[in-house]
Structure 1
């Protein structure tokens, strides 16, 4: 690369003749920095079309560093200096400041030129505009994030799904073990939901599920609380740092808010509107406790509530 930039010439130079024509006809922007002075000895005129800064304004590596996004500057400079000192060719991506105050993504491809004794003589390289590529990569990353978020969301109700609960439950269990804070679970089932579907149809049944989910989700009001659809007409509330009294309060609030919704259910055996049955339990998990066993305990309490007549909370063993 140095032979192309400075053929048969030693020391600082400006590429002559045909080499200049070749270099300056590409979109890639060539440059050369003298290692001993850290001064630019050449930079292609294409730099002005890309960034707005004239070639004459690129005097030293300080100009290069100062025309870099503040978030990229330190790590990029440190990386390039370290690689250059070791004589290692390298690449660096960063946002470069334009004269108009915007930023352009640049990829610098750097080659280290050595003297006969092995010491560094110069750095030569090319700058490439990779803004469009970065924008495309950002779109792909955002799509991946969106898809991941969708994979943890129940498509019908819009709240978290079973996968999200299965992911967060062991995390909160481990936190509760480490901190000694109580962890509460509330399992929820819509009463006589099969009869609701039979009477009103599955379209109305889906609408009912969405309304119930929205009510329950408002009760998981803190940042770490989680309301998830557990399956079918069952839901679960994961309530970290919540004692038994507070957990029952959350459950009763769910019943009250749903009662206020007054969703007609003429085929219910528990009233004339849609109701829910709930099982609740609280634990400060120790090293010998098992998260699956605790979940099963909460589930048994849910079915105690259903066996006792529905539309109620069971938070103790029968």
Structure 2
């Protein structure tokens, strides 16, 4: 049987395929290539270009590839974009997750891993944030994902599906071997900063707000390396195969870095200061998002390998150089 990875040509999905391949697992990638690129996925993994909302295409994939488990990454993930286009987010993240779950039920799939987000917590009352914190999304992105979590919970109860939902924090960095990374227009701090530091974007880095109630006034995020995140999903798969009960877990390092601290990490890695300018706060941005990760460490025995902001920055920089070389632009 094979593992279906939806969004397999995307940033996190491609790293998941690498983790499965490295573990000797049979996997199949599905992606509509709206934001991903097929070259990101390992070339020896079967690839299907299709939308996760296409029930007929899903039925064919499940049948032709003997799919036994699903790891679901396909969806839209940009908070600011979700505020401008909320209906697209409820369609892509919630309605299409329902379609995927219907296909799973029809095919008899019993194990499902859902890629969720810390955005479901909104502005937390306490930091670090535990899994028992109230769900109070402040963006359509967070709301669409919390709705999908509930739909999965109800579908699993009705159809004897075991699942793990991973709420991850700020994913960053790239495969240390240079096999995958983030592509496209930067929507997160570290990718944007890497492009500016390398001269691929001729502008100053924007800091969206320096008046938060944090030690240095800038927002604090729990940055987790994408390869560690993929390993967490692999550990979740192992739990489900061992007849583990369904569970929802945070995935983060349990400590955060402010925007200024990330900029300082770039100075350490590159040896040069990164120019920046202050911009207004963005809607939907809490002051702090830091995971309480005690549960995932205990339940999945998750042991991150790359918990170092300088290493995360270095791998992001290395990836941007690789992409620039691939595209024939200045590195």
TM-score, normalisation: structure 2? 0.21
Normalising by the residue count of structure 1, what TM-score does the alignment of the two structures yield? Answer: 0.22
- Structure number with the higher strand fraction is 1
Question: Relative contact order (C-alpha < 8 Å, sep 6+): which is higher?
Answer: 2
